[in-house]
Amino acid sequence: MTNFPLLSVLLYLPAVVALAMLFVPNMSAQTVKYLALGTAIVCFVLSLIVVFSATNSAALQWEENINWLPDIGLRYHLGTDGLSTLFILLTTLSSIIAIVASWDSITTNIKAYYVTFLLLMTGMLGVFTTFDLVLFYVFWELVLIPMALIIGVWGSANRVYSAIKFFLFTLAGSLLMLVGIVVLYTEYFNRTGTRTTDLLLIAKESPNFSMTLQLWTFASFFIAFAIKVPMFPVHTWLPDAHGDAPTPGSVILAAVLLKMGGYGMIRFNLTMFPQAAREFAGPVLTLSVIAIVYGALVAMVQPDMKKLVAYSSVTHMGFVTLGIFSFNPQGFQGAAMQMFSHGLVTGGLFLCVGVLYERAHTRQISAFGGIATWMPNYAGVFMVFMLASLGLPGLSGFIGEYLSTLAAFRLDNKLYASITMFVVIFAAVYMMWMYKRVIFGEPREEHKNFPDLTPVELSTLVPLILATLFVGIYPTPLMHLLTPVINVLLAPIVGGGGIASLP
């Protein structure tokens, strides 16, 4: 069975369906929707196979390693380990939810939209399964374009500006990464006489590269990923992109695209440059803590719900980089859990904002008040995501935040963790304050006709709540997925120095 190219099937199924949609004329909107949903569900089932076939070893599962362009050493190298598996699951799950969320909210250019979305799926899944640098780069760029289109075509008021901004920011980063790839390729060839862009092969050799080169190539990859995460100070595309993206676009952007940054750091930066990673740890940790505090404070004063949630993403993703660059098992687990949880919770929050936007066509906090009276189910659902977002234990947000902070606390410099910990206050402030102004208070007549959650809306939100609860109460299976990966990754970084001796 392991010879079955499961990953390729998973990867190209959406793209093939998308092409089919393009070439079959006169397809009804309904058919397009069901076809897209069906594809996403099949992908989800395939991803479950990946999850349940995961083993305790760090070796790649479902590996496909084909000599693609032998002349230049390009290989078609796919595979999964615990880390990939986690994100494949997150991607397919979020895709289903985003498609259902698009059902009634996307009303123009329906066919083009679902074609774009399915291509996006292929890109995202490719990013998380590729072990060849060039192939990775292709998928990385493949994600960029459909996402920019979704924002630019199906977005709200300022969509073109936001789409360009998103596009340029990411492009700037990925060009740097491209330079890095080329440098690595050349250096590897110079040293070994073999041409390859295979991640695992390069990672074996890269610790022997000169330190200067390691640092520069580390930086070239890192900046690309940092923009995607996004880290302070390159986060400013995010509030705009979220502010103007359609709801399903925001869901995917938050749930999956930001994770590509954190995933990339672990998969590429740390795998190839463990030494350089140690060198960069200090500044990265500092920027993480700044992002955490800064994002929370700025989120607090946002008048627009979606931008508030966007800035809260900056905070939450700060925990990811904090965890990764603390270089201990808790940090890695924390970062991974935080990314997974952020996908569920922020996805849920964007859906919640979308629900109100559908009804009121505004996202200004001041336009609402007393919604709980008219939409009690909605108030309850929103409450769960609100609490998960502010890191209430028992829901998923707590796991990642606590573990990442604990990881930082293990460093000699306790300042990182101590400052970070204060965010538990600010997170509660911005979320609860927003919630109160929108949901609580005297009911207003103008909202009287707002229907409570529709079955379609419930079908997007309830699975996310269940997943949030599951990760919050029983994250152990997910953590066990990651254990072998961490074992392989951390050993060279920790080296002989032991964990506490890091920056």
- Extract the tokens encoding 373: 């009276």
For the chain, the first-to-last Cα distance in angstroms comes to 45
For 70-127, give the secondary structure using H, E and C.
HHHCEEEEEEECHHHHHHHHHHHHHHHHHHHHHHHHCCCCHHHHHHHHHHHHHHHHHH
Closest CA to 15 of 128, 107, 118, 160: 118
Q: In the structure, how many helices (H) and strands (E) does the chain have?
A: 22, 2
> Alpha carbon of 323 to those of 68, 408, 497: distances in Å?
36, 7, 19
User: In angstroms, what is the minimal distance from the CB of 388 to other proteins?
Assistant: 11
Q: Is 445 strand, coil or helix?
A: helix
**Of 57, 158, 236, 454, which one interacts with other proteins (CB under 8 A)?**
236
Number of residues that bind other proteins (CB under 8 A): 94
Binding to other proteins in span 61-90, by CB under 8 A: 72
Residue type at position 8: S
**Nearer to other proteins (CB atom), residue 45 or residue 168:** 168
Q: Is 140 strand, coil or helix?
A: helix
**Nearer to other proteins (CB atom), residue 92 or residue 341:** 341
User: In angstroms, what is the minimal distance from the CB of 123 to other proteins?
Assistant: 12
**Of 117, 185, 378, 385, which one interacts with other proteins (CB under 8 A)?**
185
**Nearer to other proteins (CB atom), residue 260 or residue 431:** 431
Binding to other proteins in span 404-423, by CB under 8 A: 405-406, 409-410, 417-418, 421-422
Binding to other proteins in span 337-396, by CB under 8 A: 370, 372-373, 376, 380, 387, 392-394
User: In angstroms, what is the minimal distance from the CB of 13 to other proteins?
Assistant: 21
User: In angstroms, what is the minimal distance from the CB of 233 to other proteins?
Assistant: 5
> Alpha carbon of 337 to those of 363, 371, 401: distances in Å?
29, 32, 8
Q: Indicate whether 38 belongs to the interface with other proteins (CB under 8 A).
A: no
**Nearer to other proteins (CB atom), residue 359 or residue 410:** 410
Query: Any idea which residue has 């000699």 for tokens?
Result: 412
**Nearer to other proteins (CB atom), residue 94 or residue 246:** 246
What is the spatial distance between Cα 395 and Cα 385, in angstroms, rounded to a whole number?
A: 9
In this chain, which stretch among 88-96, 120-128, 231-239, 248-256 interacts with other proteins, using CB under 8 A?
A: 231-239
User: In angstroms, what is the minimal distance from the CB of 351 to other proteins?
Assistant: 20
User: In angstroms, what is the minimal distance from the CB of 30 to other proteins?
Assistant: 23
User: In angstroms, what is the minimal distance from the CB of 41 to other proteins?
Assistant: 26
What 8-state DSSP symbol labels residue 56? S
**Nearer to other proteins (CB atom), residue 41 or residue 58:** 58
x-marked contacts with other proteins along 420-439 as a string, rule CB under 8 A: -xx-xxx-xx--xx--x--x
Q: What is the largest CA-CA distance in the chain?
A: 75
Q: Indicate whether 470 belongs to the interface with other proteins (CB under 8 A).
A: no
Q: Indicate whether 135 belongs to the interface with other proteins (CB under 8 A).
A: no
Q: Which residues of 368-394 are buried (b: 16+ CB within 10 A; e: fewer)?
A: bbbbbbbbeebbebbebbbbbbbbbee
Binding to other proteins in span 251-310, by CB under 8 A: 294, 297-298, 300-302
Closest CA to 430 of 267, 273, 311, 286: 311
